[in-house]
């Protein structure tokens, strides 16, 4: 871009009338160099630039896809871990309940056994006591009979009766039984 007024006379002399674009003399030159330029650009693009940029874009897409897949995997792992934790928690709770129930049953059993044993002892003691009471009662009855017989015999003797032991005994027995 020469300044329009620079060396105006010379410029006026050299500038062709009309449009320089229509100067056919210059066409072969421009066409030739255009062809060279286009071929060079085409080879630069198709051999170097486009495969490289395409590769970069594909690589990036791949990286993003891989990262997303890895994130999904990690998410799945986290979910699995949470599930495992919940399961362990539930298991522990069941186990605790089971142990508690077992202990309760054991204690209940021991308690029942102790109660039964105590009951048996009490029953034995009661029976023994009853037996002793019966013995004492029997002993007392026998003593009463003997005392009655002796007393009756003594009374008969004192009253001047004949010491008829047989009759006295019979009389006492009837009296006691009656």
Partner 1 sequence: MATEEHAAEGSTLVFHPMDQFIVKPLFGEGPVAWYTPTNATLWMGLAIVAVIALLVLSTSKRAIVPGRGQSIAEMAYGFVYKMVEDVTGKDGIKYFPYIMTLFMFIVCANFLGLIPGSFTTTSHIAVTAILGFGVFICVTILGFVKNGTHFLGLFWVSSAPLALRPILAIIELISYFVRPVSHSIRLAGNMMAGHAVLKVFAGFAQVAAIAPIAILGVTAIYGLELLVAFIQAYVFTILTCVYLKDALHPGH
**CA-to-CA distance for 7 and 9, rounded, in angstroms?**
6
- Residues 15, 4 contacting (CB under 8 angstroms): no
Count of positions on this chain that bind partner 1 (CB under 8 A): 48
Residue 28 found at the interface with partner 1 (CB under 8 A)? yes
**CA-to-CA distance for 21 and 27, rounded, in angstroms?**
9
- Minimal distance, residue 38 CB to partner 1, in Å: 6
Residue 94 found at the interface with partner 1 (CB under 8 A)? no
Q: Could you tell me which stretch among 11-19, 70-78, 113-121, 142-150 binds partner 1 (CB under 8 A)?
A: 11-19
DSSP calls for the chain: ---TTTTHHHHHHHSPSS-GGG-GGGHHHHHHHHHHHHHHHHHIIIIIIHHHHHHHHHHHHHHHHHHHHHHHHHHHHHHHHHHHHHHHHHHHHHHHHHHHHHHHHHHHHHHHHHHHHHHHHHHHHHHHHHHHHHHHHHHHHHHHHHHHHHHHHHHHHHTT----HHHHHHHHHHHHH-
Q: Could you tell me which stretch among 34-42, 95-103, 119-127, 164-172 binds partner 1 (CB under 8 A)?
A: 34-42
The token pair at 120 is 């048996």
Lay out the site mask for partner 1 across 48-67 (x = CB under 8 A, - = otherwise).
Answer: xxx-xxxxxx-xx--x----
Given 11, 96, 100, 120, the residue binding partner 1 (CB under 8 A): 11
Residue 19 found at the interface with partner 1 (CB under 8 A)? yes
Residues 63-92 that bind partner 1 (CB under 8 A): 63
| Residue placing its CB nearer to partner 1 in the complex, 33 or 85 | 33
| Residue placing its CB nearer to partner 1 in the complex, 29 or 174 | 29
Binding site for partner 1 (CB under 8 A): 1-2, 4-5, 8, 11-12, 14-16, 18-23, 25-38, 40-42, 44-46, 48-50, 52-57, 59-60, 63
């Amino acid at each position: 871009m020469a300044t329009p007024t620079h060396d105006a006379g010379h410029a006026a002399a050299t500038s062709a009338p009309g449009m320089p674009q229509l100067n056919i003399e210059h066409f072969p030159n421009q066409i030739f160099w255009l062809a060279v330029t286009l071929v060079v650009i085409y080879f630069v693009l198709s051999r170097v630039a486009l495969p490289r940029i395409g590769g970069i874009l594909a690589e990036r897409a791949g990286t993003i896809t891989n990262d997303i897949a890895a994130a999904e995997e990690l998410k799945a792992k986290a979910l699995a871990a949470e599930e495992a934790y919940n399961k362990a928690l539930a298991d522990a709770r069941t186990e605790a309940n089971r142990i508690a129930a077992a202990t309760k049953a054991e204690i209940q059993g021991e308690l029942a056994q102790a109660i039964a044993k105590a009951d048996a002892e009490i029953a034995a003691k009661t029976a023994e006591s009853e037996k002793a009471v019966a013995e004492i009662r029997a002993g007392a009855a026998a003593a009463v009979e003997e005392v009655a017989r002796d007393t009756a015999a003594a009374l008969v003797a004192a009253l001047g009766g004949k010491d008829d032991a047989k009759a006295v005994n019979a009389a006492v027995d009837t009296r006691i039984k009656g």
